[in-house]
Amino acid sequence: MKAGSYAPTRYLPFGDSAVLIEFGDAISLELNRKVIALDEAILEAEVQGVEELVPTYRSLLVRYDPLKMTYEQLVFRIKEIEEKAAESTAKVGGRKITVPVVYGGEYGPDLSHVARYHGLIEEQVVKLHSGREYRVYMIGFVAGFPYLGAVPDDIATPRLETPRLKVPAGSVGIAEKQTGIYPCEAPGGWQIIGRTPLELFDMLRQPPALLEPGDIVKFEPVSEEEFKTIRESIPKGVHMSFSEE
CA 127/CA 219 separation, integer angstroms: 10
Residues 107, 113, 115, 121, CA torsion sign: positive
Measured distance CA(225)–CA(231) in Å, rounded: 10
Angle at the Cα of 238 from the Cα atoms of 62 and 50, rounded to 5 degrees: 15
The total of structural domains in the chain comes to 2
pLDDT of residue 4: 45
- Quote the CA–CA distance of 243 and 220 in Å, as a whole number: 16
Boundary (domain end) residue, out of 29, 52, 87: 87
**Residues β-bridged to residue 20:** 12, 61
Domain residues for 39?
A: 10-87
Query: Tell me, what's the pLDDT at 1?
Result: 37
Same domain, 59 and 176: no
Are residues 168 and 206 located together in one domain of the fold?
A: yes
Bridge-based pairing of strands 186-188 and 191-195 is unpaired
Write out pLDDT tens, residues 23-36.
988 878 888 888 88
Contact 47, 74 (CB under 8 A): yes
Confidence at residue 11, expressed as pLDDT on a 0 to 100 scale: 95
Same domain for 205 and 137 = yes
- Whether residues 112 and 56 share a domain: the answer is no
Q: For the domain that residue 73 is a member of, what is the CATH number? A: 3.30.1360.40
- Residues found in the chain: 245
Whole-angstrom distance, CA of residue 236 vs CA of residue 158: 35
State the pLDDT confidence band at 5, using cuts at 50, 70 and 90: very low
Q: Quick one: angle between helices 71-87 and 29-45, nearest 10?
A: 120
